[in-house]
Each structure stands twice: as structure tokens, then as C-alpha cells.
Amino acid sequence: MKLVIDANILFAALIKGGLTAELIISDVLQLFAPEFLLEEFSKYQAQILERTHRSKENFETFVQILKEYITFIPQKNIILFLEKANAFSPDPKDSVYLALALALKSAVWSNDKKLKEEQNHVKVLSTEDLINKIKILKKNK
């Protein structure tokens, strides 16, 4: 299943680990994210380390794992879709995720209720939605 992964999912995986982290490294998902997300991780590294009580080495290992399981797409590859995404995005910060989803013809994995409920151009799956969908797919195999 092809999905654009939102920053809130990655931060949840980093902070809480658990099922979200397991889903990221599962072989069921093909994940994509805007390239700037890696910059965001670096930019907020100190705050992330403080909140998670992780070591810098553990944080860097996590980022390397993300790079193995997520394809990071440069913004220049989605620029043609940004104007359309800006027109319907409930939050300007989410436009890039929606633009990437439009470019890839995929859904977005996000727990942002506003993103899910206040636009109907791109399908948005919460972690709970995704778990249920995977259960159904596995059941039907």
C-alpha cells in the first residue's frame, strides 16, 4: 500500500515507538515523504532528544532507519501539485503532503483530524484506519 507519511506519524514513532514504528518498517507499506521532513528532524533534534530521552546516537540510528523505509521526494518533484493542494488544504503546512499524495495518486497517513475531515480531495488514513485496513487485507489473503 502506497502512502505519504505525515510528520506527526514520524514524531509519534520516534517518541512512543510501538505499533506506529512497527508499521513504518512493515513490508505492507510503501512510504513516501517530502524531503524537507529530514530537515525538520535535524532542526528539532534537541527538542526531540529532550522529549524522548534518547541518545544522539539512537536518534541518528532512527533517522537512518527512516531513510531505508521511506522514499523522500524533493519538493521540485511536486511543485506542479502544490497550487492545487494549497487551494483545498485546511492548513498551509499540510499542503506539501497533499501535493505529494496527488503526485503519487496515494493516500496520506496522518492522525490530523482537521486534515482528514476538512478536505475531500485526498484520502487520509489515521493509524487506527491503517491497522484496520491491514487486518482486512491479511484476512482476505
Q: Is the pLDDT of residue 16 over 80?
A: no
Domain interval for residue 125:
2-139
Q: Per-residue pLDDT for 73 more than 90? A: yes
Which whole number is the average pLDDT over 94-119? 96
pLDDT tier, 141 (very low <50, low <70, confident <90, very high otherwise)? low
pTM: 0.90
Q: Which of 126, 138, 116, 12 is nearest to 66 (CA)?
A: 12
CB contact at 8 A, 125 and 133 = yes
3 state DSSP class of 54: coil
Strand order in the sheet with 30-34: 70-73, 30-34, 2-5, 107-109, 124-125
CATH of the domain at 48: 3.40.50.1010
Check the CA dihedral 62-64-68-74 and report its sign: positive
> Total structural domains in the chain?
1
At 87, the amino acid letter reads A
Query: What is the tens place of the pLDDT at every residue in 2-15?
Result: 999 999 898 888 87
